[in-house]
Structures are given as structure tokens and as C-alpha cells.
Chain A
Amino acid sequence: MAIKKEKVDVVMVGLGWTGSILGQELTEAGLQVLALERGAMRDTNTDTPYPKAVDELKYAVRGALFQDLSRETVTIRHGVGDTAVPYRQHGSFLLGDGVGGAGFHWNGMMYRNLPEELEMRSHHEQRYGKKFIPPDMTIQDHGVTYAELEPFYDFAEKVFGTSGKAGNIKGKIVTGGNPLEAARSNEFPLPPLTYNYGATLVEKAMRESGFNPYPTPAANASQAFTNPYGVRLGPCNYCGFCENFGCYMYSKASPQTTILPVLLKKKNFELRTHSHVIKVNLDSTGKKATGVTYIDAQGREVEQPADLVLLTAFQIHNVRLLLLSGIGKPYDPQTGEGVVGKNFAYQYNGGINVLMPKGTQFNPFVGTGAGGVGMDDLNADQFDHGPLGFIGGASIRHVRYGGRPIKQTVTVPGTPNWGTEWKAGVQDAYQRYLTIGLSGSVMAYRDAYLSLDPTYRDSTGQPLLRMTFNWHENEHKMLDYIGNRMEAVGNAMKPEKVFKAVRKAGSSYDVRPYQSTHLTGGAIMGTNPKNSVVNRYLQSWDVSNVFVYGASAFPQNMGYNPTGLVAALAYWSAKAIREQYLKNPGPLVQA
């Protein structure tokens, strides 16, 4: 018999970025908000103080901050006919855990979106004709425009203490920034992080090649900074222990460094950790949520009633919860019907590795999460795709993340992986080798989707989420093209050698090497309940008092990192809840 708790106004599943944003917004509106986080409490002072934080073995190799995959993971298969097997070790993507989620240990790349990226279908149909988009490529418009999101991007950047340089303020191109960016209302809240030597060389080569380099926008505070909530961040000190690590300088934006210091103290906000939500409960009509059921720290089943249920966990967990709770029709790739799980996408990465002449001194240990130089000339639809035969592009950037001994002592291709020659290779390359990263977009496809696994279960006995995913020819062609263009930039640096690291066409998705944790889709937003799970306010079409946050809302993935858009959508939805939904609970968009 489940224990039943007192009803709250709002219950949120997961306290990471979107949970913190919504928690802050809705408590400000006077609501009683409860966050159920299945992981543990986590904070800088207790968990990652200096110097304990800078332990590469513990955090980057053994993943001390990541989800314990032995308790719950995903199963993965390439195609609809295959058998999915569990992802037993962290490799390709790194799942966050605990309060703050992956927001506690990400790199901090904080992008907006290029103007066309919220309207991928209508934009491409308009520019290239309806036939240009292959029939099995199921890309869609988001249902919200950049202009609508701009004020929320602006606010999110301020909350995160984002360092950067604007290139387009209210339509006026500003020197030093990205001239291709969508127009912004304001400059960044902080100046860009300082370029290191490698970045100056890359910038020069990009410019000489006819491109438009700009400082990459970073949620690593370049100076000590007080955000709009009165919460203060410290300055980044370029320690080179960013992604996978908690930031001991309080300068990497995380829920802990930007929102939780005010949110956790509020009387109308409650956090229960070790509270694992297993289901959203619906009433007999199936159209209204009555709350959630969770397993508490003692292993007891608890019913938590609420008027409003927000899914603020990571993308895959949100989609899984919808499937386990029977909210929305599950997607069937054979018939193309249903929506939950549809349009799963990822990130298609590659790189141009440049070996500079002997004597070059990059000092690679001076690293940041997101500081460096980038360019968008080959991103999204910023170039003519007509003769090229593919859709999408890449966010191109050189960011020096660090020079750590275990995983960042890179050697040139052909060097043995161990022994005397390996050591010699490390010594030779360490100070003169850099990577220009290519973060490629991934479109949505009929056969890339999420569903419940028929065999494997988690430690609570519930089916794991199954990922059916493989690369498609479109992405191979895209990155191959971009790789060739960028090889020229590498050569413009007057190197000793350039190595193009782009997957061969036809290669399958390999879960072992790290790629990125930009898993998107599955609960996509849109204007039509027939082809989306949530409306433009991230409200479920089926159950109007359930909202679903995070990159699960993306109909396809862009080249940029997703967190900026995730945050902007969260603030945009929060405003709609505060100003429209609370006055008149019910569907915000008529289907």
C-alpha cells in the first residue's frame, strides 16, 4: 500500500537545469514546488572542492559524477530489426546524476540557434523545394520562432554568466563577434575568455580562408559575476579540468552556482533527494495527471499528488517516463504513427587535427570548457546546399579543454597505444598538436527512435528505454564536405601535418568512443498533435497538466550544443505557465 503525501502545487521530476529554472520561476509565482531527485544532493563545497576536484582518474576515467549504469541504463541497436543490448559502460554519451545533473559537470558551451534552425522543414522547402528533403528524413519546425525566444535566451545567458562577444545587436553587425548569428538584443553579460596561442593561430587561418571566426560563447565566467538572482560566480582560472568535473572556482555555470543558492532557501520550495519517480499517475479519463509515484530512500513506494507535473529530468528519462505512464501514443517506425519516441537524434562529430612544427608551445594544460574560437559559415543552412545533396552543417570550434595526463595526451595517427614509442609520441606531440572540432547536426529519421525494451529492466523492475539509432548517409556527406573545407584551414596554419578525422561513409554508430551527450528528441515540440508530443509551450497535447522539458523537445538536432536552447525554452514555457496556464488551467494551444 503506497504512502500518500500532502498535495503540492507543482511536482518536478529531476533537479538539473530545467528543474532549477522552473523551480525558481514557479516559486517566484507563489506556488508550492516540490522537486523529486532520484540521485543525491551535490554541491561544490561538499563534493568538488579544490584540490579534490582535479582528479582525472576519479572523474574523467571512472566517472564518479555519472549515472550508475548498473542500476539503470539504455539499450541500443542500430536498426529496427536488430536486438538492442544494454549500454554497460559510459562511452559515447555521459549520463549525469544527482542534483544538478550533467549541468554540474558539463563544459559550458552556451549557444543560441541560427535563425533557420527552428524552422528546418519550412525553411528548406522554401529555399530548395519540397523534394530536397528525403522522404525518410522527418525533420520538423519547432513551432516557436527565434524572435519569440530571444528575450529568454538573453535572460538565460545572464543567469549562466555567459562569456562572449556579440556579433549582431538588434540587426547591427558588431566587429569581434559572430556576424552570422541571429540578432540579439544585448551584448553578452561577460567578455569572452582569453584566447590561448592555439586559438590565435586557428582564428588567423579561418579568417585567411574567408570565414568569420568569433569567440565561442562560454558559460565559464571570465570574471567574477553576480547574476540576476543575486548569485555570484567566481572567475574561470583556465585549470583544464572542466567537462566531467565539478568546478571548484564556482565559475562554470551549473544549477549549484547560478540558481540553487536562492532556490533551496525558499520556504515554498522542497527538495527530496533519493526519490526515484517511476510513474506519472493519471485519472480515470487519462487526460489529467494526479501526481507521480516514486520510490523513496528507504525503498518504499510513495504517491505524491500535485496539480502540475513537470518532467525536468534528462531527455531519455523524460521520454521513458512518458512511455511508462501511458502519456501520448508511442511511435511505431513501421507505420509512422504515434509520436512518443519519434525523431531521436544525436551529434555527428569529427575533427581536423593539426600538428604544428617542432618548437610550438601551446601549453595545452591551460584549458577551459568552452573558451576558444569558432565559426558558423559551414553551419546549418548558412551555405548553399543546393549542389551538395545534404542537409545540415557543423558548429566548428577550436577549444582547448586541457592537457591532462590520462586522456589528453593525444598522439598522431599511427602512433602505438603503449610502450616506448607511445611515450615518445606523447612527448613529441603534446605541445604542438591541436584539434579543430566539427560538431555536426543530425537530422531526424523514420528509423531513429526511442521505445521501451522488451527484455531488459532496471533495478526497480521497469523496462529500460531502447535507442534505435544509426548514422545516415546525409550526416556522412555533410561532415565529409565540411572536413574537406576545414582541412584547407588546417593547412593555412602552416603545419607540419594535418589529419582529417571524419568517419568513413557507411560506418555504424559505435558506442565506445566519447562523442557527446546531446541526445535529442523523443518528446518533440510542434504545432500538430499528430506529429509532436508537446506543443510550443512544452505542454503535453494529451495531458494538459504535464509539461516536458529538455532536449527531448528538439524535432532534430543542430550543430550547436543544446543547453542554450533548452534553457530558453524552459524560461519561455515558465512564462506561459505563470501568465496563461495558472489563470486558466488547460490546453494552451488548441489542436
Chain B
Amino acid sequence: MIKNFFIAACAAAAYFSSGVASAQAGDNQGQLIVRGEYLARAGDCVACHTATGGKPFAGGLAMATPIGTVYSSNITPDKTNGIGNYTEAEFDQALRHGIRKDGASLYPAMPYPSYAKVKPADVKALYAYFMNGVKAEPTSNRAVDIPWPLSMRWPLSIWRAVFAPGVAGDDVADVGSGAQIALGRYLVEGLGHCGACHTPRGVGMQEKALTDDSSQLFLSGGVVEGYLASNLRGDSKDGLGKWTEQDIVDFLKSGRNGHSAAFGGMADVVSNSTQHMTNEDLVAIAKFLKSLAPVKPGEAALVYDEKTHQALRTGTDQSNGAMTFLNNCAACHRTTGHGYDQTFPALALSPTVNAKDPASLIKIALQGAVMPGTKAAPTQFGMPGFGDRLSDGDVADVLTYIRSNWGNNAPAVTADMVAKVRKSLPKKVAEADMTAQR
């Protein structure tokens, strides 16, 4: 019985070191493929290039753009529908320059402006992995769902010329202090393409900053699929100011830490990508993120206020916000607002709660959220959605309450804001019983 499993393991190892390069087989090619697999994890290629329930890297995932829907392409080594006929140079053209084999420009849904920062040596490894380490799938590519004339591609080459940076060389300069921060910058700006979600975008839908420049816009927060991808700079109120490096490493490794838990698109990022990265790389990312100056440097740090807890315990706060909190939220998030470490996130002094844009909060309150299951922390604690139980007014009241108690200090949420988000959700998130509205 155990023999069978052992034989299967040997076969898997053999598969990895065989392939096109078997003639030059030996440790080098094998190592290159392994490195390429790791880099593909860091770049999270699988997340976009795999349809829900589809074969890995075979494409087909729908992505909304301002002009219509595009579908990710098949990047398996299939020779008909995949990239099996791409040379390494053509692979690099697509990955870092945004130009397809046939010369057409890629939609910036492919974050090639970020991948431009990837070193040629790493591109080589990625190419080796995609050609030899990925199973070829014949899945055909879906055409874009964009009406003519918007479907014309030549404007993309203009976009590319205006917004895409030059590609990196192998000698990535060590600007600033320390090799670790340089490694962190390399991972965050490049394969991590964190800015694709966490940096605000301009009129041309371009990231407003691709590096930590004087604008201080890099990783200062962006809205993606209705969620606020939070500010990752040094602000203590709504950024990573209060997080230690270890907090960041824990978050990326396990999807949760003493402050918070990953939700929305970030849950997938942790699950598919960052949980697979080495501790060394995660520490480097953490060091780099902690080096980012706050957007609002003068802003005073928030201070925990015990009065809220006391008011809830004694029942002196009978407002709709307080009562809704007690009846729906307090079991897990507690009357202290502290939640439970590594289990139910804290609301008190939480950057997510204190972000000016309440998009994430409204969405989570209505439809709930589930933590990613990771190797380091397998339990997927879930928050139920309250959209079918709370009216727009109740959600607004409780979120306003949360954002103004325990020392939190963020603008109120209105029923209209909630209604807008509710409209954008899938129908199966049931409507609230409107008689509950106050």
C-alpha cells in the first residue's frame, strides 16, 4: 500500500525534470523550473489565468474593465491555444512589455506595468516553468466581450506607451537601506503587483504610482470589486502603522493576525500566492512595506476608549447602532471591540474600520466573508452576511456606531451608501425585511 504512494511520488519528481530540456537534463534545468514555479506563485498567475472550476492556467476567467469584459488567456504550453509556440523572447514581450505574440497590446488587466520590474533571470525561470512544469491544456481562448469600436486594440498601444515603465535589468539597483528592503521592493513592485489593487488609479485607469515616489500614492489604497484594498503605508489610523513586521508576515502566511483577517480578493491572494512564499521573502516584503511613509504624517494615532465597552455592559447606550451591534456582532467581535486573537478580527482601532471609504465594511456586513484556509491556519472562520436580516438603515447605524466607538474615528455611513452596495450584490443575498427599518 505504501509502495504505491512512493512510486507515485517518484513519478511526479520525474515528470518535473523531464520535458523539452531532457537532453540537457540535469539539476540546472530542474532547478530553473522549480524556481519558475515559485515565482509564478509569487506573481499569482494562477488566480487570473484559471477560470472557476477550470484547469490551471488554461484561462477563461472573466474580468470587468470600464469598456466591457475580458477573459484571461490560456498560458499552458498547449501549441494551439496556449503559449506552446512562444519563444522566451515572445514570452518576455507579453509578460513585461504587454505585447502578444501577434503584436497586439494586452489589456492592462494583465499587470505588465508591474511585471516590467521582473529581472530577466527570473523571466527565464518563469518561461522554463510554463513550458515544462505546467500541464498543456487545449482550452480555447474566449474573445473579449467588448463592442466595436471600443474593441479596437490600437488605443492599448498608446496606453502602453504612456503608462508602462521600461523593463528591469538583472542588476536591480539597491536603492535605500538594506538588501532585505530591496528584495521586498522587488517582490512588491514586481511579481507581487500589489499596486494593481492597493494603488489608486487615474483617469486612464493607470496606477497613479508604480513605485514609492514623492507623491506618496503608491499602495495608498484602491477600490477593487467593491472592496477597499487598504492603505499599506505607515498611517496608524488606516494603514500598517500599528502592525509589526511579524504581523505582516503572519497575515501573508496564514491569512490572519492579531489585528485582522484577509477578505475579498486578498483572501485568494493569500490562499494562492503568499502562503506559499518563503519566510525570508515575506519578511522582506514586510520590511519594505514598513518603510513606506504615512500618507498623512501628522495625524495623531487613535487611542482605545473603554467607555464604549462599559456603556454596552451596563446597557446605557440604547441607540439603534449599539443595540444592533449587541444583537448581531458582539458574540464574535465582543463588547470590547477586541474580537478574539487569530479568530474573530478586532474592530477597535482596526485600519479596515477606520478607512475613510467604508466600501469593504458595507460589503462584508451585507454578504459576510470567509477567511482563507492556509497551511499555517486551516480553519476558515466565517462571518455570516446580515443583508437578509438588517435593513439599509440598520447597517448604516451599526457601521456608524462601530466607526465612532472604542476610539475609532471615521465618517458616518448612510443608508443610501448601503443601498448602493446592496444593489451591486448578487441576487442570492436576500433583501432585508423592510419592516425592520427604523
Binding site for B on A (CB under 8 A): 9, 29-32, 44-45, 49-52, 224, 226, 229-235, 237, 239, 248-250, 257, 261-262, 265, 268, 307-308, 582
Q: Are A249 and B331 in contact (CB under 8 A)?
A: yes
Contact of B341 among A31, A52, A224, A261 (CB under 8 A): A224
Asked if A250 and B381 make an inter-chain contact with CB atoms under 8 angstroms apart, the answer reads yes
Judged by a CB distance under 8 angstroms, whether B10 is at the interface is no
Interface residues of B in 346-392 (CB under 8 A from A): 368, 370, 373, 376-382, 384, 389
Interface pair B2/A29, CB less than 8 Å apart: yes
Contact among A44, A50, A265, A307 for B378, CB-based, below 8 A: A265
A45 touches B1 (CB 8 A): no
Known: A224-B343, A231-B379. 20 other contacts (CB 8 A): A9-B4, A30-B2, A31-B1, A32-B1, A32-B4, A45-B370, A45-B382, A51-B384, A52-B384, A229-B378, A230-B376, A231-B378, A232-B381, A234-B340, A234-B381, A235-B343, A250-B379, A265-B378, A268-B5, A308-B1
Chain B: interface residue total (CB-CB under 8 A): 25
Interface centre among B328, B368, B384 (most CB of A within 10 A): B384
Chain B residues with CB below 8 A from A308, complex form: 1
Chain B residues near A (Cβ < 8 Å)? 1-2, 4-6, 328, 331-332, 340-344, 368, 370, 373, 376-382, 384, 389
CB distance from A254 to the nearest CB of B (A): 12
Given the contacts A45-B380, A45-B382, A261-B378, A51 and B328 also touching, CB distance less than 8 Å: yes
B1 touches A232 (CB 8 A): no
* Cross-chain contact A265 with B343 (CB below 8 angstroms): no
Alpha-carbon distance between A235 and B344 when the two chains are bound, in angstroms: 10
* A52 vs B382: C-alpha distance when bound (angstroms): 13
Return B92 CB to nearest CB of chain A, in Å. 34
A255 to chain B, nearest CB (A): 13
Determine the chain A residues whose CB is within 8 A of the CB of B340 once the complex forms: 224, 234-235
Nearest Cβ distance between residue A227 and chain B, in whole angstroms? 10
Q: Are B384 and A49 in contact (CB under 8 A)?
A: yes
Most A CB within 10 A of own CB, among B344, B370, B377, B378: B378
Q: Name the residue on A nearest B343 (C-beta).
A: A224
Q: Is B373's CB under 8 angstroms from A265's CB?
A: yes
Report the separation of the CA atoms of residues A51 and B389 in the bound assembly, to the nearest whole angstrom.
Answer: 9
CA distance A523 to B368 in the complex (A): 46
Please tell me if the beta carbons of A30 and B5 are within 8 angstroms of each other in the complex.
Answer: yes
* Shortest Cβ-Cβ A-B pairs, 6 listed: A45-B382, A261-B378, A49-B384, A9-B1, A224-B343, A232-B379
Inter-chain contact A230/B377, CB cutoff 8 Å: yes
* A-B pairs with beta carbons under 8 Å apart, 18 shown: A29-B2, A32-B4, A32-B5, A45-B370, A52-B384, A224-B340, A224-B341, A229-B378, A230-B377, A230-B378, A231-B378, A232-B343, A234-B340, A249-B332, A261-B378, A261-B380, A307-B1, A582-B1
* Cα A52 to Cα B381 with chains together (Å): 16
B382–A44 CB distance below 8 A: yes
The distance from the CB of B367 to the nearest CB of chain A, in whole angstroms, is 12
Interface pair A261/B384, CB less than 8 Å apart: no
- Please, which residue of chain B has its CB at the minimum distance from the CB of A268? B5
Residue in A closest to B385 when the chains form the complex, CB atoms: A49
Q: Which residue of B lies closest to A49 (CB)?
A: B384
Tell me the smallest distance from the CB of B229 to a CB of chain A, in Å: 23
Please, which residue of chain B has its CB at the minimum distance from the CB of A225?
B343
Please indicate the chain B residues that have their CB under 8 angstroms from the CB of A32 in the complex.
1, 4-5
Q: Which residue of A lies closest to B328 (CB)?
A: A51
Report the minimum CB–CB distance from A491 to chain B (whole Å). Answer: 36
Residues of A within 8 A of B380 (CB): 45, 261
Quote the shortest CB–CB distance from B264 to chain A (angstroms).
Answer: 16
List the B side residues contacting A268 at CB < 8 Å.
5
- Of listed B5, B379, B389, residue having the most chain A CB within 10 A: B379
Assess whether B2 is in contact with A582, with CB atoms less than 8 Å apart: yes
Closest to A26 in B: B1
Contact, CB under 8 Å: A50 / B341: no
User: A248–B329 Cα gap in the complex (Å)?
Assistant: 12
Tell me if B331 and A239 are in contact (CB < 8 A).
yes
A residues near B5, Cβ cutoff 8 Å: 30-32, 268
Cα separation A226 to B377 with both chains bound (whole Å): 9
Which residue on B lies nearest to A52, using beta carbons? B384
Q: Whole-angstrom distance between the alpha carbons of A229 and B378 in the complex?
A: 9
Instruction: Report the bound CA distance from A32 to B332 in whole Å.
Output: 38
User: What is the chain A residue whose CB lies nearest that of B379?
Assistant: A232
Q: How far is the CA of A265 from the CA of B2 in the complex (A)?
A: 20
